[in-house]
Structure 1
Amino acid sequence: MSVTAVRYFVGDQTVPALPDLDRGLAYGDGLFETVRAHQGRMHWWPAHWQRLQRGAAMLRITLPDERIVLAEATRLLDGGNVVLKLVVTRGSGGRGYSPVQACVPNWTLSTHPLPPSPAAGLSLRWCDTRLALQPALAGIKHCNRLEQVLARGEWDDPAIDEGLVCSSEGDVVSATAANVFILRQGAWSTPQVDRCGVAGVCRAWALKALPAREARLAVTDVEAADAVFLCNGVRGILPVARLGARTWQPHLQVVALQHRLAAEHPAFATEVS
């Protein structure tokens, strides 16, 4: 995803570049959000900011003033249909892990082109990379994404759209960059993210819209499902057509969910027929 515009900040001040000794660069000591904008408006901004606040509380990171962030983001979006990325780090500090020296946050705003419209049905694979259990980081979008980098690096086949990853204990967690939902015996469920994984903004929406339950899911639960879809806040609801040798036909409930999302979030209105 290429960058179309980028701005850097320290606290409330604009700066020409990230400061030296930024802890996000040195240690991944920070958080990020990617927000889909439609005609310059970010429909799910409150949900993204709330998750950022949860992450900041867990990591004890000071956030910049939301009013300033929103004003700068709106100026950068300039009415466009793009993806906005916000990165907030603890700030700058000396060498070493101690966070005590850093108190003024560094943050970056950048805009990126929208991803391609989703295919009629995604083709998935299972990833060998496992996600470590760490409840202290579970649910939030912290800047250490090395497990996802390793998982996504497992394939370069353009016919494979995404990979599903499990925890170190073998339960299904998510895709590399999306949450996963399955339909079995008439009920929808999605993996719990209390030990690892990200609590996605679109996931939260789908949990209420379906409704669905959170549960520990095994590989066999996914492979035996009647329907599967992925979701995230940038790409919306993504039906799954294949996982290895297992295939699914389009499911009426998934199509209905796509239409409901399009009705509630204008950015996705052009991606349903």
Structure 2
Amino acid sequence: MKPTYLTEQSISEFISRALAEDIGDGDHSSLASIPADARKQARLLVKGEGVLAGVELAGYIFNAVDPDLQLQVTLQDGEIVKYGDVAFTVKGKAQSILTAERLVLNCMQRMSGIATYTHYLTRLIAGTNAKLLDTRKTTPNFRMMEKWAVLIGGGANHRFGLFDMIILKDNHVDYAGGIREAITATQNYLKEKGKDLRIEVETRTLEEVQEALDTGGVRRIMLDNMSPDMMREAVTLIGGRYETEASGGITEETIRAVAESGVDFISVGALTHSTKSLDLSLKAF
């Protein structure tokens, strides 16, 4: 089941904008050098190791460029791949294949890199109760695909944007005058606007955790930049009354200890802002 942000309309609009950016008034390289009636085929070659992502999206892209293109998929999203694997073959009008090529590769390489790193981190916390989350540290206008890739890699999505969940972070708390003030103002705002949004509040110390507990009215308490030992104390203090999320400065070396502190979620911005793309290539044959 796809998440709510992945609709036929949202995918179509993304592809339309991306193709307009790339094609402009025409793919003149292909139009100039390739006969209009030439029909060819190409295959998607994997040139690295990781988790494949973006195959389904590639199908949408090829169809948007030319509905007559035929895609034969041999490897699905989420499959572990290695150098030399062939993910799919595309057949049809040569000009259409070339026009779609770069958008397909740009999306799939980026998405596969994210899925690969997400899969790697989920394995590091396997056996704990913690779930790996992404963040809003995404590429503008490409967030939908990056969050989709996190799901393919075995992670979970945090809020999609500023509109579908409230997170009262350190600056919100400081501007509002404190934890209690920020939560109370938020509760009043939601009541006034008739909105039903989850509230999460960021805490930096055990004192702020206690203030959040004393105030109540939230869904989740974020433990920001705390050591695993402090997180363990915070989790004990919270005692299951609210969900807990670890965030800030979490690395490959520390994520296991963070997960073992007992938190429910671990959010890692590096899933989307610092991931190396998986090398893929679309080759004629």
User: Under TM normalisation by the shorter chain, which class is it?
Assistant: under 0.3
Task: With the length of structure 1 as denominator, give the TM-score of the two structures.
Answer: 0.25
If each structure's helix is expressed as a fraction of its own residues, which one has the higher value? 2
If each structure's strand is expressed as a fraction of its own residues, which one has the higher value? 1
Which gives a bigger RCO, structure 1 or 2 (Cα 8 Å, sep 6+)?
2
Larger radius of gyration: 2
